[in-house]
Amino acid sequence: MSDLIAIIPAPRELVRGEGYWTSADPIGDALRTVVENLPDDEYRIDVTTDGARLSAGSDQALRHAEQTFAQLVGPNGVPVVSIADAPRFAWRGMMLDVARHFMPKEFVLRIIDALELHRMNSLHLHLTDDQGWRVQIDAYPKLTEVGAWRPETMIGKMSHGQTEFEYDGTRHGGFYTKDDLREIVAYAEERGINVVPEIDLPGHMQAAIAAYPELGNNPDNPIGVRQVWGISDDVLNVNDATVDFVRTVLREVLDIFPGPYIHLGGDECPADQWRESEAAQAKQAELGLTDAAQLQGWFTAQVSSVLAEDGRRLVGWDEMVETDCPKDAVIMAWRGADRGEIAAKAGHDVVMAPHESVYFDYYQADPETEPLAIGHFTPLEKVYDFEVVPAGLTAEEAARIIGTQCQVWTEYMEDEDRVGYMLFPRMSAFAEKAWGSPKTPFPDFLARLQIHLPRLTALGLNHRPLD
Ligand code: ACM
């Protein structure tokens, strides 16, 4: 039997002693205390041959202690250890795209289990995109009646400039009711995990425009929910009525999701339609803007005031830094580590999500032998080598890097098994970066991972096998 202690993410400090505590029910028999003089985020575990004590600075830290302790329990008993641990980053997140392919509620709950296992604390749900709208909105029922469904989906890989497509002939869709989402939020909260909803705007809105053509720039030419991947030119118009529409949607979203952060996207919004639209040009002139692209900042400011009125904080993709976004917006740096640097220097709090390291829709091995993926190459070791804080920041700027997040975009992941395959074990390596585990040689991490992978299987989650 292996004697290896395989805790993932590894604790900051672990000192091993001689022997084991053997108990028929170690989880039940361990002593637990929340201790006022420990910092809020810190916990300690002390195991002797006579028993175990978990002490923590808060209920949340005690949850972390429970996860670590459960991973200490092995076939020989519980090894004698002293552990002192606390996370490096406040935001330890994962984003799941449930728009490109709808994922059942039960699977989202299993993902929350996996986040808990990895002592992560944020689930970002990408709820809307060109290819599907996944959240019930009472004021606008067609968002889900129409926007949650596409008659068919392109087959294979989208290439740049492609105009001819083959389709699968299969209707795809689904959405979460408000009750579903409240259940997800409550389940996450019990496990110390905050759910961050994303309503991606003003681009990536084709499904909403399909449901309500008056939101688009060419309402006389109605469009359907998008059936191909890539970036759509169909973006929201900038009329006052559309601002009102979005504000109503957001008020309902705030009512479902009580957490402090609300994500309003902001990525990949082409301004071509605004350049061609008389109404958008008139709005641009009225606002004294010199370029149509600046309408994005104006639009986001109009709709995000709903968040501020309710004491919530705006989160956006790094394109938002280039628009005139509120200074207290949290920026997710996805186009590269340098984007995180720019955002931190501009005074924003930043979550590092650079695609080259933490986009888990990229290949993990030779594309010849892997299921179809979007491209690029991010094998497990590259994730394990990820440095969260970009070089080139002063200490004060580096303190604005509040955390990191891995992304699962699901264009090429049609079901839960495929998501599990792409997500794990890369998320296990990522969790060590988010937590700030001491870096060990990669083969040592792999040895721990061998013991860790069955924990994912026990949760009902698929993973890619180790090579
Ligand atoms: C993104 O990948 N468009 C955020």
Q: What is the pLDDT of residues 376-417, one digit of tens each?
A: 999 999 999 999 999 999 999 999 999 999 999 999 999 999
Q: What is the pLDDT of residue 302?
A: 97
Q: What is the pTM of this model?
A: 0.98
| Domain-embedded: residue 465 | no
Counting atoms of ligand 1 from 1, which one is nearest the CA of 265? 4
Is 370 annotated in the active site?
no
What would you report as the CA-atom Rg of the chain, rounded to the nearest whole angstrom? Answer: 23
* Same domain for 100 and 41: no
**Which of 152, 233, 268, 415 does the annotation list as catalytic?**
268
Determine the Cα–Cα distance for residues 93 and 119; give it in Å rounded to an integer: 10
Counting atoms of ligand 1 from 1, which one is nearest the CA of 407? 2
Q: What is the pLDDT of residue 152?
A: 98
Q: What is the pLDDT of residue 3?
A: 85
Domain that holds residue 58: 13-85
Q: Torsions phi, psi of 239, nearest 5?
A: -75, 155
**Which of 129, 130, 234, 397 does the annotation list as catalytic?**
129
* Burial annotation 253-281 (CB, 10 A radius, 16+ → b, else e): bbebbebebbbbbbbebebebbeebeebe
Measured in Å, residue 136 CA sits from the centre of ligand 1 at 23
| Domain-embedded: residue 253 | yes
Measured in Å, residue 132 CA sits from the centre of ligand 1 at 16
* Same domain for 119 and 25: no
Determine the Cα–Cα distance for residues 308 and 295; give it in Å rounded to an integer: 20
Q: What is the pLDDT of residues 329-386, one digit of tens each?
A: 999 999 999 999 999 999 999 999 999 999 999 999 999 999 999 999 999 999 999 9
Measured in Å, residue 268 CA sits from the centre of ligand 1 at 7
| Domain-embedded: residue 310 | yes
* Same domain for 278 and 207: yes
* Same domain for 72 and 117: no
Task: Residue 30: give its domain's CATH number.
Answer: 3.30.379.10
* Same domain for 123 and 54: no
Q: Probe ligand 1: pick from 204, 334, 339, 412, max atoms within 8 Å of CB?
A: 334
H or E segment to which residue 128 belongs: strand 128-129
Query: What does the mean pLDDT of the chain come to?
Result: 97
**Percent share of the chain, pLDDT over 90:** 98
Give the CA angle between residues 184, 190, 193 to the nearest 5°. Answer: 70
Q: Probe ligand 1: pick from 126, 158, 268, 408, max atoms within 8 Å of CB?
A: 268
Is 18 annotated in the active site?
no
Per the CB < 8 A criterion, the answer to whether 334 and 317 are in contact is: yes
Counting atoms of ligand 1 from 1, which one is nearest the CA of 267? 3
* Same domain for 385 and 247: yes
| Domain-embedded: residue 199 | yes
* Same domain for 131 and 112: yes
* Same domain for 56 and 107: no
* Same domain for 272 and 256: yes
Q: Can you say whether the dihedral through the CA atoms of 53, 59, 65, 71 is positive or negative? A: positive
| CA count, 13 A, side-chain hemisphere, 2 | 12
Measured in Å, residue 142 CA sits from the centre of ligand 1 at 26
* Same domain for 19 and 62: yes
| Domain-embedded: residue 6 | no
**Percent share of the chain, pLDDT over 70:** 100
| Domain-embedded: residue 377 | yes
Task: Residue 362: give its domain's CATH number.
Answer: 3.20.20.80
Residues 6+ apart with CB under 8 A from 81: 5, 14, 15, 16, 17, 45, 46, 47, 72
DSSP conformation class of 325? -
Instruction: Return the residue whose CA atom lies nearest to atom 3 of ligand 1.
Output: 267
Residue that is last in its domain, among 60, 85, 110: 85
H or E segment to which residue 208 belongs: helix 206-211
- Split at pLDDT 50, 70, 90, the class of 1 is very low
Q: What is the pLDDT of residues 419-454, one digit of tens each?
A: 999 999 999 999 999 999 999 999 999 999 999 999
* Same domain for 256 and 168: yes
pLDDT of 49 above 90: yes
Measured in Å, residue 266 CA sits from the centre of ligand 1 at 9
Measured in Å, residue 407 CA sits from the centre of ligand 1 at 9
Q: Which residues line ligand 1 (CB under 6 A)?
A: 267-268, 317, 334
Residue that is last in its domain, among 85, 115, 139: 85
| Domain-embedded: residue 308 | yes
Residue that is last in its domain, among 85, 103, 122: 85
* Same domain for 284 and 145: yes
Q: What is the pLDDT of residues 158-181, one digit of tens each?
A: 998 899 999 999 999 999 999 999
Counting atoms of ligand 1 from 1, which one is nearest the CA of 353? 4
Q: Probe ligand 1: pick from 229, 317, 331, max atoms within 8 Å of CB?
A: 317
| Domain-embedded: residue 2 | no
**Which of 124, 204, 452, 463 does the annotation list as catalytic?**
204
Instruction: Return the residue whose CA atom lies nearest to atom 1 of ligand 1.
Output: 267
Q: What is the pLDDT of residue 313?
A: 98
Is 361 annotated in the active site?
no
DSSP conformation class of 359? B
pLDDT of 324 above 60: yes
Number of domains, the chain: 2
- Split at pLDDT 50, 70, 90, the class of 2 is low
- Split at pLDDT 50, 70, 90, the class of 183 is very high
Counting atoms of ligand 1 from 1, which one is nearest the CA of 334? 4
Measured in Å, residue 359 CA sits from the centre of ligand 1 at 9
Measured in Å, residue 18 CA sits from the centre of ligand 1 at 49
Instruction: Return the residue whose CA atom lies nearest to atom 2 of ligand 1.
Output: 334
Q: Which residue has the higher pLDDT, 3 or 165?
A: 165
